Amino acid sequence: SLHLDMHIGVAFNPNLTDISSQVKRLKRKIEAGAEFVMTQPMFDANKVLSMCDAVRDLNIPIYLGILPLVSKRNAEYLHNEVPGITIPDTVRARMDIEDKMKAREEGISIALEIMRATKNAVDGFYLISPLHRYEISAAILKEL
């Protein structure tokens, strides 16, 4: 027989204005057996820290979703069209760069800034390669 070491992870969306309803949902998921949490991608370090305060008493590992932005169009699409993702105006303004390589570098910088600002608040990160561009995730890993 095949022996598997399985763990139950759950999604968590702390990007909503009222996080309390999401925390209640998360409590139910933990009661049902969740062992760790993976957040939606977040683009505001202060919001990450507030989220960590809101779930601290739940005593469950939190892994923060990091999705590097690649362009202003990408940032606007995620913010306006993808449910559960909120990108602050300041971050979207930073992505207002015409040069594709410079925009890519700015997206990497933003991701690294969020990771550095929140590394002591979360249990880890998971990288989401934007648009199947795995080299961007590799570039972030090289900077850590």
pLDDT single digits (tens) 18-54: 889 999 999 999 999 999 999 999 999 999 999 999 9
| Total-model pTM | 0.91
User: What class, spelled out in words, does domain 9-143 have in CATH?
Assistant: alpha beta
The secondary element (H helix, E strand) that includes residue 106 is helix 100-118
SS3 26: helix
Query: Do 62 and 91 form a contact (C-beta atoms < 8 A)?
Result: no
Which band of pLDDT confidence, cut at 50, 70 and 90, is reported for residue 133? confident
* Contacts of 24 by beta carbon, 8 Å cutoff, 6+ apart: none
Q: How far apart are the first and last CA of the chain?
A: 40
Average pLDDT over residues 84-92: 95
Buried b (16+ CB within 10 A) or exposed e, 28-58: ebbeeebeebbbbbbbbbebbeebbeebeee
φ, ψ for residue 87 (rounded to 5)? Answer: -120, 120
